[in-house]
Amino acid sequence: MILRDSGGKGTLITTKHRKFDSENKFISTETFDFTEDESEGTQKAFALAGPL
């Protein structure tokens, strides 16, 4: 997701998720594109948080 201000400057929105192995040990962090990879619920919560 790219948010643009009134001057047209954009900000790319990404999220990070921690990945764990079968023994629940941290292995890596994965970066998600907000609009492509996040659920609709997460996107709605983010949209509602904007006015806060």
Q: What is the pLDDT of residue 11?
A: 78
Return the domain boundaries, the chain. Answer: 2-49
pLDDT in tens, 1-52: 666 667 777 778 889 999 999 999 999 999 999 989 999 999 999 889 876 6
Asked if residue 10 lies in contact with residue 4, where contact means CB atoms within 8 angstroms, the answer is: yes
Q: Can you give the pLDDT at residue 22? A: 97
Residue 1 is predicted with a pLDDT of 64
Sign of CA dihedral 50, 36, 22, 26: negative
Q: Give the bridge partners for 11, in sequence order.
A: 3
* Residue for token pair 């990879």: 37
Q: How far apart are CA 4 and CA 40, in angstroms?
A: 21
Whole-model pTM: value is 0.58
